[in-house]
């Protein structure tokens, strides 16, 4: 099964789960963003904090995103962690954070 078809099948299964309606709206938005961005199910991927902020339509820090990630992980949808994101844009600046995530298989 191709990656796109696997994502659609996964989304259909998740939509039929009873607890999905109780997730915060921003957690659902985050999940849809991560699912669309993912190269595959079950493999770790990286995404910039700024990308998530733009998708959610508001300024949210890495800690807030990780809190949303905890809700997703609690429902076995995705696992998210923060880590170093490469070189700073300018000398002396702090190293940017990058989010690393993995879309989980609900039956795993």
Over residues 9-33, the pLDDT tens digits come to 888 888 888 778 888 999 999 999 9
Nearest to 24 by CA among 60, 69, 59: 69
Q: Which of 82, 83, 27, 75 is nearest to 55 (CA)?
A: 27
Q: Tell me: the pLDDT tens digits for 75-88? A: 999 999 998 766 65
Q: Model pTM?
A: 0.84
Beta bridge partners of 79: 102
- Token pair, residue 67, equals 């809190």
DSSP H or E run through 83: strand 78-84
Q: What is the pLDDT of residue 105?
A: 87
Please check whether the domain covering 3-103 is classified as CATH 1.10.10. Answer: yes
pLDDT tens per residue across span 35-69: 999 998 999 999 998 899 999 987 888 899 999 99
pLDDT of residue 103: 95
């Amino acid at each position: 099964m191709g990656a796109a078809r696997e994502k659609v099948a996964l989304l259909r299964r998740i939509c039929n789960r009873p607890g999905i309606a109780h997730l915060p709206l921003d957690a659902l938005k985050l999940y849809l963003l991560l699912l669309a961005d993912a190269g595959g199910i079950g493999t770790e991927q990286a995404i910039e904090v700024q990308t998530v902020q733009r998708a959610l339509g508001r300024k949210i820090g890495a800690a807030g995103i990780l809190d949303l990630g905890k809700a997703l992980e609690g429902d076995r949808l995705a696992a998210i962690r923060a880590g170093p994101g490469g070189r700073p844009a300018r000398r002396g600046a702090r190293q940017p954070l990058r989010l690393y995530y993995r879309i989980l298989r609900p039956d795993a």
